[in-house]
Structure 1
Amino acid sequence: MPSSTLPECAHYFPPPETKEDLEFADLPPIHPEGRAQLYPQLRDALRTHGFLYAINHGYTQAQRDRIFDIAGVPFNDVSLDEKKTYTASIEEVGSYAGYKLRQFWRVDTENQIHDQIENYAINLNVENRPHPTALRPFLPEIDHFARHNHFNILHPILRLIALSLELPEETLVEKHNFDRTGDTSGYYRRSNDEEEKSKNVWLKGHTDTGSITILWSQPVGGLQILGPDGKWKWVRHIDNGLVINTGYMMTFFTGGYYKPTIHRVIQPPSDQHAYDRLGAYYFAMANDDVRLLSCAESPVLKHVGIERQCLDEDSPLCETWRKGRTAAYGRSDLKNGVERGVEEEVIEGIVVKHYN
């Protein structure tokens, strides 16, 4: 860490893991090996599930625990009035940087149920914008954490994906400079009436906007993925593990070879109903000036064929796509899709699906 003397904050005591007999997704853990052995594991996991676990990522358990201590600061140590001062300009400019306060997203339009999720998103360059007073002493540690996610976790994953497509290792790394956002979030409990009306869904099935999402695993359940068999399955907690998934930008870059992972958050298991969920995430986005085109030079994509989301000449810039999806998420009027239980919206001429 940047200093041997760290500022104090409340310690996050993780709740006990659920003892319920749940149907967990069979996600493979990726162990560090030689790249020639590792990228086929990653390829098969992402092609089958869109999710995988990563371990031995370079942070100790103590470093990970410290990050969760810091993650609670913007929610527990900042007043509502100060939070409003640092509210993100989500609809206005399509940016999550700052606070997304509770009840901003519509979870269930028919019953007018809104979310109880609070996010605080930080640019990877922590000096890009001001922060609440309570969080400022922790910025050096947040900067270290952001850089670790970007250079020691994201970039190796992008190199493995490039190798799996028989592309030069730096093909995707070059599209991801150090200028995006990280995120912490709190999922807070809801009334029994809201749970019943929304069928216990806290965040409906969706795909992420960016290319890769890194979730630092935490013990309160709720995250589920839509499996290849069409069933929702729980994601198991792994101490000091990472949960990695692909987003929509990766589908653009890989011509549909890697699909965006469909996932949702529901009410935790009954033996964890008394706990809120605290999360630390890294959302990787490509550079704003990169156009969302497939890497058509890939021998693998030439062999299997390329699924295009739109004509190449109509492909949006990453900035346009990022801002469009950010501004619309949880706010736009969704239309019923052709598939049962699927709602749709159109972003930059591309149909985006939401799963109930």
Structure 2
Amino acid sequence: MFTVPIVDISGYVDPDGTARDRAHVARRLDTACREVGFVQIVGHGIERETIDGLAAALDEFFALPLEVKKRYTRPGENRGYSPPKSESLSMSLGVAAANQMNDFYEAFTVGSEQAWFDGFDLPVTSYPANTWPAAAPGLRPAVEAWFDAARSVSRVLLTACTDALGLDPGHFDAMVDHSIDALKMNNYTLPEGDIELAGELTGMGAHTDFGILTVLWADQVPGLQVLDHSGTWHDVQPADGALLVNLGDAMARWTNDRWRSTVHRVDPPVVDGRIIRRRSAAFFFDGNHDAVIETLPGCAIADRPDYPPITVAEHINAKLAGMKSGVAPDGADREAKRVMAAR
């Protein structure tokens, strides 16, 4: 039976965590990453008020009229507001949806800014400034608090992953000291009369995440589905107090698919012609724009060719072009074949 394991990471979060505690966490993470690619984490240390603040901030912004939200659209950039049907995540794998740009979710995205990193000459294309909507004054403080908390958890998880892979401590440090981190906040719902629900409805198309790993907060509402190694879709909901974590393409490429990036999609349930509302916030821990993604020591396999080296920025930009413009990226063949064979 398919299950997403729950792993208590407090051994890495707690300053008093012992080497034995951390070794136990690392072993459980390795098993989860090899067998499932998704894991639920507890013991992450994020305060309840920070989580509640994020949920309230999403409600404040997404409750605004569509014409107001559209003022904060940033065409061509991974920042600001994305209205329904403006993206097609399956195209980030080169897998065309039945209707292009048919993902029925709206989103608001913030992320790492060029100004955050003194002493680095960083391209504004990878580190653009954020947009903070004046029409939702509670959004910025709540989102910044969550962003900081999720960023801390992602770095704890990278330390645990380093141990799980048997790498030297700090192996990834020089690859994440000016990481392109992004938080995409999603709202799955359709206002009455907005559109007739006919035929196949895609909340968020099948895709893999682009970077190292993703830390996801989501409502306990059906919709998220994960593709297992045999090509079958499974419903996944977070346990009480748990955050969902999945691997992205950078980690899959680094490990040469010892740990595969997880193909997933969202299809919120429709009852009486209406989508049941579902909210989520995905923190993408992506790595430095100039970090090179190439096979890690110990992950080369004779009968499976390594992925060709690519920088984090090159990889992300190709995926974003697919998602936002429908331009199929090169080099996504392995993931695309898994999606096309799914049942």
Normalised by the shorter chain, which TM-score bucket?
Answer: 0.7 to 0.9
Deviations 1:302-335 (A, max 9, x none): 588874122xxxx2221121111112116426xx
Asked if residue 99 in structure 1 is aligned to residue 81 in structure 2, the reply is yes
Conservation of the 8 A alpha-carbon contact between 1:309 and 1:350 = no
Conservation of the 8 A alpha-carbon contact between 2:188 and 2:275 = no
Greater shift after overlay, 62-71 or 33-42?
Answer: 62-71
Deviations 1:166-221 (A, max 9, x none): 112322243223542112111124999975522x4322221111110111131121
Alpha-carbon distance between aligned partners in 1 of 2:49 and 2:28, rounded to the nearest angstrom: 28
Deviations 1:89-138 (A, max 9, x none): 33xxxx32111111113577445672221110011459833311034444
Deviations 1:24-59 (A, max 9, x none): 841110013311111010010011010010012112
Which of 102, 108, 119 matches 2:107?
119
| Alpha-carbon offset, residue 73 of structure 1 | 2.4
- The equivalent residue for 1:340 is none
- The equivalent residue for 1:11 is none
Which of 23, 27, 43 matches 1:40?
27
Alpha-carbon distance between aligned partners in 2 of 1:242 and 1:231, rounded to the nearest angstrom: 23
SS of 1:116 mapped into structure 2: coil
Conservation of the 8 A alpha-carbon contact between 1:211 and 1:248 = yes
- The equivalent residue for 2:210 is 209
| Alpha-carbon offset, residue 256 of structure 1 | 2.0
Alpha-carbon distance between aligned partners in 1 of 2:2 and 2:324, rounded to the nearest angstrom: 26
Conservation of the 8 A alpha-carbon contact between 2:203 and 2:267 = yes
Alpha-carbon distance between aligned partners in 2 of 1:207 and 1:66, rounded to the nearest angstrom: 28
Correspondence list, 1:106-255, <5 A? 106=88, 109-111=97-99, 114-124=102-112, 128-151=129-152, 153-177=153-177, 178-189=179-190, 196-198=198-200, 200-255=201-256
Alpha-carbon distance between aligned partners in 1 of 2:143 and 2:184, rounded to the nearest angstrom: 11
SS of 2:29 mapped into structure 1: helix
Alpha-carbon distance between aligned partners in 2 of 1:44 and 1:204, rounded to the nearest angstrom: 27
Alpha-carbon distance between aligned partners in 2 of 1:86 and 1:269, rounded to the nearest angstrom: 28
Amino acid aligned to 1:71 = L
SS of 2:283 mapped into structure 1: strand
Conservation of the 8 A alpha-carbon contact between 2:224 and 2:267 = yes
Unpaired runs of 5+ residues, structure 1, are: 1-23, 334-344
Which of 39, 43, 62 matches 1:52?
39
TM-score using structure 2 length? 0.79
Once superposed, what is the RMSD of the aligned Cα atoms?
3.0
Distance of aligned partners of 1:292 and 1:211 in 2 relative to their CA distance in 1, 3 Å threshold: same
SS of 2:135 mapped into structure 1: helix
Amino acid aligned to 1:132 = P
| Alpha-carbon offset, residue 144 of structure 1 | 2.3
- The equivalent residue for 2:313 is 319
Alpha-carbon distance between aligned partners in 1 of 2:263 and 2:319, rounded to the nearest angstrom: 16
- The equivalent residue for 2:5 is 28
Conservation of the 8 A alpha-carbon contact between 2:86 and 2:101 = no
SS of 2:290 mapped into structure 1: coil
Distance of aligned partners of 1:129 and 1:237 in 2 relative to their CA distance in 1, 3 Å threshold: closer
- The equivalent residue for 1:353 is 336
Distance of aligned partners of 1:140 and 1:304 in 2 relative to their CA distance in 1, 3 Å threshold: farther
Deviations 1:260-304 (A, max 9, x none): 1011111327599552111122011111011121223xxx42588
SS of 1:183 mapped into structure 2: strand
Distance of aligned partners of 1:195 and 1:85 in 2 relative to their CA distance in 1, 3 Å threshold: closer
- The equivalent residue for 2:75 is 89
Unpaired runs of 5+ residues, structure 2, are: 12-20, 91-95, 117-128
Amino acid aligned to 2:74 = A
Conservation of the 8 A alpha-carbon contact between 2:226 and 2:265 = yes
- The equivalent residue for 2:284 is 283
TM-score using structure 1 length? 0.76
Give the length in aligned residue pairs. 307
SS of 2:299 mapped into structure 1: helix
Conservation of the 8 A alpha-carbon contact between 2:112 and 2:182 = yes
- The equivalent residue for 2:258 is 257
Conservation of the 8 A alpha-carbon contact between 1:113 and 1:194 = no
Alpha-carbon distance between aligned partners in 1 of 2:109 and 2:147, rounded to the nearest angstrom: 12
Alpha-carbon distance between aligned partners in 2 of 1:122 and 1:332, rounded to the nearest angstrom: 22
| Alpha-carbon offset, residue 85 of structure 1 | 2.9
